[in-house]
Amino acid sequence: MDVRHPEPAGRVTRRRARTRANLLDAAFAVFAAKGFGRVSIEEVCDAAGYSRGAFYSNFASLDELFFALYQERADLIARQVAEALADGGPDLAVPASVDRVTEVLLLDLDWLLVKTDFLVHAARDVTVAQTLLEHRTRLRGAIADRLARTPLPAVLGDADSAAHAVVAAYDGVTTQLLLDKDVDRARGWLKQLLTALLTDGSTPPPGCSE
For residue range 105-159, what is the model confidence (pLDDT) as tens digits? Answer: 766 788 888 888 888 888 988 988 888 888 888 888 878 887 887 777 888 888 8
Write the pLDDT tens digit of every residue in 30-51. 999 999 888 999 999 999 999 9
What single-letter DSSP state applies at residue 156? G
Distances (CA, A) of 186 to 10, 81, 171, 175, 192: 45, 18, 11, 10, 10
Q: Are 146 and 104 in contact (CB under 8 A)?
A: no
Single-letter amino acid code for the residue at 136: R
| Angle of the 62-87 helix axis to the 94-105 helix axis, nearest 10 | 160
Write the pLDDT tens digit of every residue in 161-192. 888 888 888 888 988 899 998 988 988 888 88
Cα separation, 136 vs 159, whole angstroms: 15
What single-letter DSSP state applies at residue 7? P
Give this prediction's pTM.
0.71
Q: What share of the chain is helix, strand, coil (3-state, %, to 5)?
A: 75, 0, 25
